[in-house]
């Protein structure tokens, strides 16, 4: 049973979860748990970390040398030891670790024991290719079990993985391979998407033209007959695996050693190579999957994120495996072969915890309740969302139509940089549509003005995290200076999230959007400058500016303003070419929905494009301070 009450101000509604959901929560009393954390933050994290296995304990929980933090100082660990051996020891040997469902209806099942064996053997195959501790391996694969095996195999031997979303184009892939200095690229011949076969290997071949660090390419050959491989350079995934030894002990990693680099779009220049560590990241992923998502031992858990994003890393793979959960994973997009496929899969696999994105929810909303109502969704216990604001309409739909007014909706706010959840409403707590919730125990956050003073309730300001936390990024792999820009002020020593937010009198936080030039399309970060550089690299384009234009389904769409080279005429063919060019360079997600041809762009006197002026004009709102605008 639920009830909702009207409260004044921004929050129109409060949903109170039924008592059974309060009882089911692992954190039953937020205030108490938060107070315990505040009393002794280091002891709080020490207790969390003590659930996991360490080869050598830490000398100190935290070392804070602003703006650099170390967590679990001098401890030794391996995340795969905690994702695999820890469960074999705890009677989960034959528990299903992974149910995988392919687009062609094939199914693959890995128990913890099978996954453990596959990871060890593939880890040895990598060793045979001379991959060792500290080497970088780029993984550019479709959503298949071998992708998880490849990631864990790297972690097993201390190699650093950098997973690149398989929807990226050749130049984006090249930039990430070169930026990370990858020695090996692991890919597949093809990916299946919406009934189409998408060749991946040719994209890798193109990306490798100027990538001197790469010594070998490992190819998972899915198609029959198998694609030909280039002697001495390309090797087959299963052939090298079969030839390798079976036993592979976990490499002893320092807690502060790099576990992975994940590239995310920045507002300026090249993508950021966010570095996460073996110890702190592991603790953050474990803690939040357990206490925020509240995944229980006999649950089947489905996070729809692609492993190419941070959500895929932390909540499709590492978090649930650290917990010993049963993961469900699929190649299926939500609308193919029809709009019932996800609901069908929830019914068929008895999914209990379902974690997805507002863009998917809004897409389903457009087609009404008929599709979900065809299926039995009664196995669902918890619904969660991430990536962009879950607007109240989408919250309501998710809550009523999918959750049947019983499942808590856990709207999780965090970032690639934070590694794991920061702000959310825990299962069992009162829910306010439109608000993500409060900082979880372990995390301190607040809303500030430009000078770093806290703003009064219900006023917009900048969201900051006010203390370091274990799973925070440690650096930008490609730019030592850039890390410091997150910790903007020497006086307050806060991590700035670049999000705008509002906090109400109960401490619930509403995320308004980005304060920088990132465009979030369907929950994916796209840098304005990335789209602009892609366009400028086209021969007909002189200058370009990209903005996000609100869209009811995807959150935002990319709109670009283009100045053409003198003498170029606008034709349908040119518009098509420009879109195709962005697709080839960055991938389909970044393709502009709208192109407007202009003669000039608003710029500051120092020559920076003022995108917010374009955006304000586009949306018919006040552009704010334009004193720096160059006439």
Least Å distance between CB 27 and ligand WT7?
A: 18
Q: Which is nearer to ligand WT7, 264 or 288 (CB)?
A: 264
Closer residue to ligand WT7, CB minimum distance, 279 or 308 = 308
Least distance from ligand WT7 to the Cβ atom of residue 436, Å: 5
Residue closer to ligand WT7, measured from CB, 254 or 417: 417
How far apart are CB 390 and ligand WT7 at their closest, in Å?
6
Q: Which is nearer to ligand WT7, 271 or 602 (CB)?
A: 271
- Nearer to ligand WT7 by C-beta: 274 or 377? 274
**279 DSSP assignment:** S
For ligand WT7, the closer of residues 185 and 394 by Cβ is 394
Nearer to ligand WT7, 58 or 413 (CB): 413
Residue 172 CB, shortest distance to ligand WT7, in Å, is: 15
Beta bridge partners of 543: 563
Contact 346, 302 (CB under 8 A): yes
Residues near 210 by beta carbon (within 8 Å), at least 6 away in sequence = 174, 178
Phi/psi region, residue 78 (left: phi>0; alpha: psi -120 to 50; beta: rest), is: beta
Min dist CB 326 to ligand WT7, Å, is 22
Quick one: 264 or 444, whose CB is closer to ligand WT7?
A: 264
Q: How far is the CB of 70 from ligand WT7 (least distance, A)?
A: 23
Give me the count of residues in the chain: 631
Contact residues toward ligand WT7 (CB under 6 A) are 264, 310-311, 386-389, 411-416, 436, 497, 499, 511, 514, 520, 523, 525
- Judged by CB, which is closer to ligand WT7: 142, or 308? 308
Q: How far apart are CA 157 and CA 248, in angstroms?
A: 8
Closest distance between ligand WT7 and the C-beta of residue 53, in Å? 27
* Nearest residue relative to ligand WT7 (C-beta): 416
Q: Is the Cβ of residue 415 or residue 528 nearer to ligand WT7 in the bound state?
A: 415
From the list 542, 517, 535, 512, the residue with the least C-alpha distance to 585 is: 535
SS3 123: helix
- Tell me how far apart the terminal alpha carbons of the chain are, to the nearest angstrom: 61
Instruction: Fill in the DSSP letter of residue 413.
Output: B
Identify which of 412, 343, 351 has the alpha carbon closest to the alpha carbon of residue 380.
Answer: 351
Query: Can you tell me the distance from the alpha carbon of 42 to that of 190, in angstroms, rounded to the nearest whole number?
Result: 47
Which residue, 468, 482, 475, is CA-closest to 69?
A: 468
Q: Least distance to ligand WT7 from the beta carbon of 75, Å?
A: 26
Smallest separation, CB 314 to ligand WT7 (Å): 8
Residue 259 CB, nearest approach to ligand WT7 (Å): 17
C-beta neighbour count of 545 within 10 angstroms: 26
Question: Shortest CA distance to 10 belongs to which of 487, 317, 433, 548?
Answer: 433
Q: Look-up: residue for tokens 């205030």?
A: 31
Min. distance of Cβ 425 from ligand WT7 in angstroms? Answer: 10
Distance between CA 519 and CA 527 in Å, rounded? 6
Nearer to ligand WT7, 124 or 416 (CB): 416
What 3-state class would DSSP assign to 90? coil
Those residues with Cβ within 8 angstroms of residue 507's Cβ, 6 or more apart along the chain or in another chain: 438
Q: Which is nearer to ligand WT7, 33 or 497 (CB)?
A: 497
| Sign of the dihedral through C-alpha 51, 52, 58, 62 | negative
Interstrand relation of 60-65 and 68-73 (parallel, antiparallel or unpaired): antiparallel
**Bridging pattern class, strands 107-111 and 96-101:** antiparallel
Q: 184 or 531: whose CB is closer to ligand WT7?
A: 531
**583 near 577, Cβ under 8 Å?**
no
CB of 430 to ligand WT7, least distance (A): 17
Nearest approach in angstroms of CB 415 to ligand WT7 is: 4
Instruction: Round to whole Å and give the CA distance between 612 and 631.
Output: 16
Of 383, 219, 367, nearest in space to 301 by CA: 383
Among 143, 142, 98, 89, residue whose Cα is nearest residue 118: 98
- The β-bridge partners of 217 are 185, 234
The token pair that represents 61 in the structure block: 């929980």
């Amino acid at each position: 049973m639920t009830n909702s009450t009207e409260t004044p101000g921004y929050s129109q509604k409060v949903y109170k979860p039924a008592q059974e959901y309060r009882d089911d929560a692992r954190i039953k009393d937020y205030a108490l748990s938060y107070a315990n954390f505040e009393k002794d933050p280091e002891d709080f994290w020490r207790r969390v970390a003590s659930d996991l296995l360490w080869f050598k304990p830490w000398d100190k929980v935290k070392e804070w040398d602003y703006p650099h933090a170390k967590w679990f100082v001098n401890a030794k660990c391996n995340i795969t030891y905690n994702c695999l051996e820890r469960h074999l020891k705890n009677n989960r040997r034959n528990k299903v670790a992974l149910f995988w469902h392919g687009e062609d209806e094939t199914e693959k099942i890995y128990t913890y024991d099978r996954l453990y064996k596959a990871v060890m053997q593939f880890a040895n195959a990598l060793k045979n290719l001379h991959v060792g501790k500290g080497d970088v391996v780029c993984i550019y694969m479709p959503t298949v079990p071998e992708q998880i095996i490849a990631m864990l195999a790297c972690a097993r031997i201390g190699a650093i993985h950098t997973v690149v979303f398989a929807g990226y184009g050749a130049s984006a892939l090249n930039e990430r391979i070169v930026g990370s200095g990858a020695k090996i690229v692991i890919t597949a011949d093809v990916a299946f998407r919406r009934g189409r076969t998408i060749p991946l290997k040719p994209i890798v071949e193109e990306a490798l033209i100027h990538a001197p660090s790469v010594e070998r390419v490992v190819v998972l050959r899915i198609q029959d007959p198998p694609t030909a491989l280039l002697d001495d350079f390309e090797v087959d995934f299963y052939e090298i695996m079969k030839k390798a030894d079976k036993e592979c002990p976990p490499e002893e990693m320092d807690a502060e050693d790099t576990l992975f680099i994940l590239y995310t779009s920045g507002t300026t220049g090249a993508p950021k190579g966010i570095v996460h560590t073996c110890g702190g990241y592991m603790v953050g992923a474990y803690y939040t999957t357990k206490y925020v998502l509240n995944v229980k031992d006999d649950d089947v858990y489905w996070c729809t994120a692609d492993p190419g994003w941070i959500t895929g890393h932390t909540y499709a793979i590492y978090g649930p495996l650290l917990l010993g959960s049963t993961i469900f994973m699929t190649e299926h997009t939500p609308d193919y072969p029809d709009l019932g496929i996800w609901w069908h899969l929830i019914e068929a696999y008895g999914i209990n915890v379902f974690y997805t994105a507002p863009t998917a929810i809004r897409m389903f909303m457009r087609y009404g309740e008929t599709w979900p109502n065809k299926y039995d969704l009664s196995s669902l216990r918890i619904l969660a969302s991430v990536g962009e604001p879950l607007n109240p309409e989408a919250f309501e739909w998710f809550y009523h139509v999918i959750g049947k007014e019983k499942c808590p909706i856990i709207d999780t706010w965090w970032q690639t940089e934070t590694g794991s959840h920061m702000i959310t409403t825990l299962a069992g707590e009162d829910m306010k549509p439109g608000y993500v919730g409060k900082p979880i125990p372990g995390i301190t956050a607040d809303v500030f003005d430009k000078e770093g003073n806290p703003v009064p309730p219900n006023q917009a300001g900048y969201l900051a995290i006010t203390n370091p936390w274990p799973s925070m990024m440690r650096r930008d792999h490609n730019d030592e200076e850039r890390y410091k820009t997150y910790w903007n002020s020497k006086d307050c020593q806060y991590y700035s999230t670049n999000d705008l937010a509002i906090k109400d009198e109960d401490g619930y936080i509403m995320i308004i959007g980005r304060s920088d030039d990132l465009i979030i399309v369907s929950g994916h970060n796209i840098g304005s400058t990335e789209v602009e550089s892609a366009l400028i690299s086209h021969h007909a384009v002189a200058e370009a500016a990209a903005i996000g234009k609100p869209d009811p389904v995807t959150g935002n769409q990319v709109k670009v303003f283009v100045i053409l080279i003198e003498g170029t005429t606008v034709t349908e063919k040119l518009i098509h070419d420009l879109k195709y060019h962005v697709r080839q360079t960055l991938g389909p997600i970044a393709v502009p929905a709208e192109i407007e041809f202009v003669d000039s762009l608003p710029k500051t006197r120092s020559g920076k494009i003022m995108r917010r002026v374009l955006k304000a004009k586009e949306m018919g709102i006040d552009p704010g301070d334009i004193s720096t605008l160059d006439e």
